[in-house]
Chain A
Amino acid sequence: MKRCQMMVDVGRRKFLSGAGMAAAGIAAASVPITQANAAPPTARVNYPSNRLANVNDLKLNEPLNVSYPDNDAPGVLLKLGKRVADGIGPDGDIVGFSTTCPHKGFQLVYNKSDRTLNCPGHYSRFDCEAGGLQIWGHATQNLPQYVLRVDAKGDIYAEGVDELLYGRLSNVL
């Protein structure tokens, strides 16, 4: 950003009087400036676009273990057999979630009968058909869900996460 060079009236009058300009120039130059040399930070983290699976790898109501955005962040892809909000794929029924409980970091277990992810630590439950809504439990967040994309070949890519993952203060380490 450039500083505005237009003089306000008082400065213009001083210019017309022929005084003060040189002194002002010296004063400005004498203030030492520390240049910020850090890379400009982004407001949100940049997510990798990672291929997690192909739609043909998924079986109805069978969780497929994946990791995103890196190998230390376990999750699942699910084909629910029912069109859901944020679901992708030809049937709009494929979703992906982190499986680390946002309460205390225990690994969640999938319950096929009611399509929930359940925590063995303190009994928290998350609804996979409703965007990871916490049905009951102690977490102060709903379950982080993946932003997914399917390409023409049916490959499923994860490209983002909508909540902070347990155990990291930045989703991408």
Chain B
Amino acid sequence: MAYKRQIDQLPIVPKDAKEFNVTCHYCIVGCGYKAYTWPTNRQGGTAPEENKFGVDLSKQQQAEAVAWYAPAMYNIVRQNGEAMHLVIKPDKDCVVNSGLGSVRGARMAEMSYSRQRNTQLQRLTEPMVWRYGQMQPTSWDDALDLVARVTVGVINDMSEDGLFVSAFDHGGAGGGYENTWGTGKLYFGAMKVKNIRIHNRPAYNSEVHATRDMGVGELNNCYEDAELADTIVAVGTNALETQTNYFLNHWVPNLRGTSVAKKNAEFGSEPVERGRIVIVDPRRTVTVNACEVEAGKDRVMHLAINSGTDLALFNAWLTYITDKGWTDKAFIAASTKGFDKAVASNKTSLEEAARITGLTADQIQKSAEWIAEPKQGGARRRTMFAYEKGLIWGNDNYRTNGALVNVALATGNIGRPGGGCVRMGGHQEGYSRPSDAHVGRPAAYVDRLLIDGKGGVHHIWGCDHYKTTLNALKFKQAYKKRTDLVKDAMSAVPYGDRDGMVKAIMAAIKKGGLFAVDVDIVPTKIGEACHVWLPAATSGEANLTSMNGERRMRLTERYMDPPGQAMPDCLIAARIANHMERVLREQGKAKYADQFKGFDWKTEEDAFMDGYHGHEKGGQFVTYERLRAMGTNPGASGRLRRWQDHRHKAPVC
């Protein structure tokens, strides 16, 4: 039977409740929300002057109401030590979602740490260390002293190459400009760590090298382009489920034809009509179904290709479009090199592609027409290409990704209204770090090196190899064996004997052991093997800046306390740096210790000002004050589309 909460009323947000800007931290779309907090002993009333919305709440609210929130949007949390009511509801004025809430974002309040209402109690709240055979709580200073001494010890023995790091590189929860800078400044600034990997892949590399090597950053349009396109080409993306409000608020209006007025306003006399969509996916997804419902089956083409055959399809498109003379010759001349060579070397006939993909030659030809056949009067067709895991997590990612970008370039659909060749993305972005050039290419295959017994200390930030790496069982077997060596050594020393403890750990490392430090918001699977757990704060428990899939940068304000002693990752990184500096000075290594200066941050805003504000192009114009003032809507769409101005340089997932 269906679960029912048996909740039939909620406290009303009073007129004087505090209001905070919130961007949903769960996915790349970054829907705008507002958080409201007020003391637990107070509540608003139904009269318009008694509630935050100025609405008569004694009346039934209509569809898409501003003044309604579901039980999932309510909780009781702590704010500056006091218990407070919390409501987080979608922001109707945010142009990203226009008040829509997904099953992720619309549960942000319910998914907050609350001891009053017993939600999310699995959080890490105190630093924990391996002591006498189990993880036990301790102070930050004690835990960080141990981390610093062992890390410095390993670097003394093995150089910085003995320090292995797994770290998030993204925005949203478990990331953000503050925290990628904090970890980046520690590992790429103070040190030059090269054995480092990203949260969801075993090396420090891009998921979309090809498009970057072609000079096309993967987030190169804005969400409004989906409303303006003549045709959307969706490859390996199930947008209704995974970028829900982007699809509902920006794709659907085009498919329904309700964005035609916007097209007329933007393109003047150019012929425009309701959009079409080509979906490349071996599965018939709910996205395909929704597109057919909205646009009609005659404007939706579902190409259910054989899995892993995208490359042949894209090359057939390129060949057919070029043969027909539908390419954008001026754009090609101005913005590409070696185009004719690319066409020649990728030549694929409709029949050959049909044989490989399992489609018919007619389907491939018709879809090429939807992509590139000039409109009435010879106007170039505006086509937006969107791709995600179905493409990039397939084999032969590099060539497949490049082949799709080829079609977008051939048809002049990069950096133009109604165009773009973009990742749909996973989570938001928020990359700001010193150069990673020393990592090299190909980047070290970190998980393989760990299996092979390399490295002496491992710092893990918001990653869980046990659940996500390749060959996970083998990794787990090797990792457990290595970390158990250290655990057994630690258990044999009285915990108060720090000198003896570090010596025992270092001796175990020399025998092939590995000392592991896990920074996370919750206990993880790989954490079971670790010797230190450091509790981190998440979005809303700290100020956090990120950008969404159209590079719209926003600040989620701190509206509640982190649980226990948890801290933002940037401050944890800073405190590790402080302790490493102290230990190095103790050891008489003053010159090396000096590299760990500049981590005297007290708040996450300090990290933001040092990082994004101080180091990114144009960052000098971005402050918390300005981001607060711009709320959930910074960045006019036209500016977002001119992506060359905002060249995205992050490894993305």
Contacts and interface: CB of A to CB of B under 8 A. Distances in A.
B12 A162 contact: no
A140 interface: yes
Nearest to A161: B8
Given A163-B4, A170-B8, A140 B65 contact: no
B102 A138 contact: yes
Contacts of A169: 9-10, 12, 57, 68-69
Interface string A138-173: 111111010000000000000001111111111111
Contacts of B10: 164, 169-170
B286 A167 contact: no
Given A162-B6, A171-B9, A104 B70 contact: no
Nearest to B245: A138
Interface in B513-536: none
A111 B604 CA distance: 52
Q: Is the interface of B mostly helix, strand, loop or mixed?
A: loop
Interface of A: 44-45, 72-73, 85-86, 102-106, 121-123, 127, 130-134, 136-143, 145, 161-173
Given A45-B8, A141-B70, A167-B65, A123 B2 contact: no
A103 to B, nearest CB: 8
Kindly state the interface size class of chain B when it binds its partner.
35 or more
A105 B68 contact: yes
B167 to A, nearest CB: 32
Interface string B343-374: 00000000000000000000000000000000
Interface of B: 1-10, 12, 57-65, 68-73, 99-103, 106-107, 110, 240, 244, 248, 286, 289-290, 293
Contacts of B290: 123
A141 B529 CA distance: 38
17 contacts: A44-B9, A45-B9, A102-B70, A103-B101, A104-B99, A134-B2, A140-B107, A141-B70, A142-B3, A145-B2, A162-B5, A164-B70, A166-B65, A167-B60, A168-B61, A170-B9, A171-B9
Contacts of B57: 168-169
With most chain B CB atoms within 10 A of its CB, the pick from A122, A140, A164 is: A140
Contacts of B99: 104
A131 B8 CA distance: 17
Contacts of B71: 140-141, 163-164
Nearest to B57: A169
B4 A145 contact: yes
A19 to B, nearest CB: 38
Q: Which 4 A-B pairs have the closest CB atoms?
A: A140-B72, A105-B63, A131-B2, A167-B61
